[in-house]
């Protein structure tokens, strides 16, 4: 999670570089683009800058459904629920992701690793059902494909953790020799 000083500094810079002439929604979008969500401290800061109450700013943000109020996961999974994907059992795909990740759509896993969202048509209907994983379109989704993806991610994490531990051990050994 970002620290408050970094969020406030970003908003100051945004406002000083012409953002003050734009409206609140533009400022909220800029904050979300930078941090991946709207942190409360950012909304409070913008409330002060635009001479509004924090409740007003929150009200504006919740009016638009593109704003998120929780940090996204490190890996973000968007399941398309457009018409073509719906016909091809997209709800089964979503259910399977929910089961595998043990979260509901709109949530992030407690370790912050995965976020799960539903989206409207992403323009690849011939590949239905479709999911977009970390910005990459994965077509012809199936429950077995999900299991394969989850296994691959898990193996990558274990490899990264192992490499991290090896590097820490090598560093400790080096320090001990000095």
**Where along the sequence are the contacts to ligand FES (CB under 6 A)?**
80, 82-85, 121-125, 128, 130
Give least dist CB 37 to ligand FES, A. Answer: 25
Structure tokens at 177: 């020799």
Give least dist CB 131 to ligand FES, A. Answer: 9
Give least dist CB 85 to ligand FES, A. Answer: 3
Local structure of residue 108 (DSSP, 8 states): B
Question: CA nearest 71: which of 40, 103, 30, 28?
Answer: 40
Strand-pairing partners, residue 108, are 115
Nearer to ligand FES, 8 or 95 (CB): 95
Give least dist CB 120 to ligand FES, A. Answer: 8
Nearer to ligand FES, 43 or 93 (CB): 93
C-alpha to C-alpha distance for 110 and 67, rounded to whole angstroms: 21
Residues 6+ apart with CB under 8 A from 65: none
C-alpha to C-alpha distance for 38 and 43, rounded to whole angstroms: 7
Nearer to ligand FES, 43 or 130 (CB): 130
Nearer to ligand FES, 60 or 80 (CB): 80
**Nearest residue to ligand FES on Cβ basis:** 82
């Amino acid at each position: 999670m970002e620290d408050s000083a970094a969020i406030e500094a970003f908003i100051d810079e945004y406002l000083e570089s012409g953002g003050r002439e734009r409206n609140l929604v533009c400022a909220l979008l800029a904050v979300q683009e930078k941090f991946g969500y709207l942190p409360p401290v950012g909304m409070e800061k913008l409330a002060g800058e635009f001479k509004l109450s924090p409740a007003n700013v929150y009200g504006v943000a919740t009016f638009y459904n593109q704003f998120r109020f929780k940090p996204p996961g490190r890996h973000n999974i968007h399941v398309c629920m457009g018409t073509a994907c719906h016909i091809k059992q997209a709800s089964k795909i979503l259910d399977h992701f929910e089961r595998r990740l043990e979260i509901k759509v709109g949530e992030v896993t407690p370790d912050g690793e995965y976020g799960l969202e539903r989206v409207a048509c992403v323009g690849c209907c011939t590949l239905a059902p479709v999911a977009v994983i970390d910005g990459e379109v994965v077509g012809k989704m199936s429950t077995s494909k999900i299991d394969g993806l989850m296994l691959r991610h898990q193996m990558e994490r274990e490899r990264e953790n192992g490499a991290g531990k090896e590097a820490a051990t090598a560093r400790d050994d080096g320090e001990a020799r000095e």
